[in-house]
Amino acid sequence: MKPALVGDIGGTNARFALWTEGHISSVQTLATAQFETPEVAIRHYLSSLGRVPQQIADLCLACAGPVSGEHFRFTNSHWSLSRTGLSQALELDHLLLINDFTAMALGMTRLHEQQCRVIRSGQADPNSPILVIGPGTGLGVSTLVPEPNNGWRVLPGEGGHVDLPVGSLRELALWQQLFSEFGHVRAEDVLSGRGLVRLYRAICTLDQHQAHLDTPSEISKAALAGDPVAIEVLSLFCIWLGRVAGNAVLTTGARGGVYVVGGVIPRFSDFFLASGFADSFCAKGCMSHYLEQVPAWLVTAEYPGLEGAGVALEQLLNKSA
């Protein structure tokens, strides 16, 4: 039986794995900038395993951006594809394209207890939706809805593009600085890897500091080493993420809990767990009580997006069997 291929493609990296009998294997991470198209990257991945496309029957790609229609252009990447063109080029039986945070949400259904750290304890409502939110190249947001017979349905969206909510005079001053540079200020303009850099530069401009840090990694390391400006950057980042997550729970009724995922926070996970995320998450005035018992976890699983892509593909194949 031919294995399937699954991919989790973000703005910076594309992760690929084989999916066989409900499990991933042979995981590789490729930089999207090094390949002209997804097809070229897939052929490179298969070649590195000594395989050719004809040995793969089915493919699921979890793609950053809204997925619909024949043609897809990746958000935060130069890649694009045609469903028909890719299927024919790789001689596939089935091609499934899903939003990357649809895959991430489905990946939460395969988590083990040791793959999460508690951000805030509470009592999850088993009949309510679950929120999945994660800063990476952008800010992903998705909702996992329970269905009868222990099934799950995902409501994909573009929650990273909501307006950045302001909750203090300091935040207002920084929002004004960001607005003067970018116009409309979205949540992911701050809550992403590039957002850390934007926030750092906004603070430096506002407070007349000399900016000397240029990357998210440098900012994270400086904060953990005690740099006061970098500490404020991470602190505000965590507070803003809590506020955006709390807003999303109010909107979707996701009292089944919140999973925080993505590639940014693992750089400073201990700092994050001790941050103002939990307080800002609940600070909703007269509706604060609605969020008091909603638990939140930081996901430490290595490849939840690939796992979720495999789950999505398996569901498709089971339906068509």
pLDDT in tens, 16-48: 999 998 899 999 999 999 999 999 999 999 999
> What Rg do the C-alpha atoms of the chain give, in angstroms?
20
Percentage above 70 pLDDT, the chain: 99
Q: Please give the Cα distance from 295 to 219 (Å, whole number).
A: 29
Distances in whole angstroms, Cα of residue 174 to Cα of each of 61, 185, 258: 37, 11, 27
Contacts of 164 (CB under 8 A, 6+ apart): 175, 178, 185, 186, 187, 189, 190, 240, 244
Numbered residues of the known binding site: 7-12
pTM of this structure: 0.88
Kindly list the domain boundaries of the chain, sorted by start residue. 4-105+303-320, 112-300
Percentage above 90 pLDDT, the chain: 80
Q: Which of 243, 247, 223 is nearest to 235 (CA)?
A: 223
**Which whole number is the average pLDDT over 3-14?**
89
- What CATH superfamily classification does 4-105+303-320 receive? ATPase, nucleotide binding domain (3.30.420.40)
Looking at residue 115, its pLDDT comes to: 94
Q: pLDDT class for 321, splitting at 50, 70, 90?
A: low
Numbered residues of the known binding site for ATP: 7-12
- Name the amino acid, one letter, at 52: V
User: For the chain, what is the mean pLDDT?
Assistant: 93
Q: Is the pLDDT of residue 281 over 90?
A: yes
Fold adopted by 112-300: Hexokinase; domain 1 (3.40.367)
Mind listing the pLDDT tens digit for each residue in 136-180?
A: 888 989 999 988 877 788 998 889 999 999 999 999 999 999 999
- Which one is predicted more confidently, 11 or 216? 216
Beta strands in 52-202 (DSSP E): 58-63, 71-73, 80-82, 94-99, 116-120, 130-135, 139-147, 151-156
Q: Which two tokens stand for residue 269?
A: 């996970």
Residue with tokens 């969020």: 291
Q: Which of 178, 105, 175, 115 is nearest to 140 (CA)?
A: 105
Classified as helix, coil or strand, 117 is strand
Q: Which of 74, 75, 97 is nearest to 84 (CA)?
A: 97
Residue with tokens 């294997």: 25
Q: Which of 152, 151, 150 is nearest to 142 (CA)?
A: 152
